[in-house]
A and B are shown apart, each in its own frame.
Chain A
């Protein structure tokens, strides 16, 4: 099945269209079934993925607007493969755990459309197709936040939409400019990323283009100081919205950096390491402190997302296999863990309709299973070894140490400040005596909730203990990318800083 990527992209979309016909009561089962099939398809993708190959696989190319160089061009490599699988997994699990009563059918249809756009972003190899899915993903999320959200939902959803939309339009200009350069050099219009990779750009062009792409990606990540839409979006979104937003949508930004900025502008990327690292450190420490000041459980986790995304950003700009590989892995890790944490907050919100920590206390006594799973996710979030959270964070910090020990130590504060807000959240909500009368009769996890969370726990531990099956393909593609960046870099400084792993030089693989 060579066109499995198209199937992956359009299966949920077609299912969503057909979903309009499905009876309201059955919509949920329909959605779960479709998401499960999609997940199995993505697993099949992994199964048939050639792990020895670092390049793009399952490539599909259909010309759409050849005069303008726009093609329907898809492919996956080790970097995108697992993000796709995580996307389908989190959609499935999100749907299983979904506790929404209102307009379930609309939600299911919206989610399936969203799934299409998310998968689309990660398989697109044509910048315009990428942009198309990128923008389109805003729409379902706008609806999810706006229709099922809290009291400020309209404000939050519009803020989310406009902020990211604004950034990506600047990015679009950047894309158009790259296409223009490609055209003026080759005489051919092309938006294919793989074609763009071949462009060797002068440093000043690289810097400007880097800035344009940066704005688009940074708002999505979201990097400080562009992050303020996120707490609103998370705070107002329903659980499922937060899960998808944190797990997948934020990854689009970091994925964009890996897919576009680094290979296309190696020199600019190297020059921007320090500023980006500084911003990232601010993200890590500052947002962790802000998270500590929150009163609302969900806001804590929302800000913690920003903090963790800072770690991912630092890793991407480590310019070595350890850091970038670790970053990609951390994207998966953060997706799973923050998704699970948002689901966990949703569990308690469904019972009490509040997320304020002051309303709780002593939950561990009343809901031990819940506390256990929360605890596991908390530990993964603070990066405990043998959980999924450690591998990425460790590799990122390790990788970045090569560039700057001091900044690594500052970024490494993440493991301290992260523990501070997470443990404080856990203590406030789960420890101590059960003071509130309403909390005494809370029921522990229902089977539905258990079965949506247990797989995540299993993954968190599995990938913490044995990350190899995922880390290897990632590593392969990252190494290939580094070799390629090193060859392409114009300035000697960049060549010096981009560290090609020995493993890659030995086999001499070039994309």
Chain B
């Protein structure tokens, strides 16, 4: 029987994968995907907990996260496109003009 803890473990694994992606990826686009993975991991958790408590709040939260993730992508991709136009690259390591 798949219980709450299973969902939570999946969520935690997904979150960790996302985090690892954020930390390791050099390509900005991949990095965005990684953050999406993290947010979706949270969504799984919320949905599962919501079910567990039989409470709708968690699902609501998940919906909001989906919405926000969508707008994040919108804004983020917009910035990325401009950046790509300017730089011609989405590699993180090229993006270190300001430091110190």
Are A and B in direct contact (Cβ within 8 Å)?
Answer: no
Which residues of B does A touch, CB under 8 Å? none
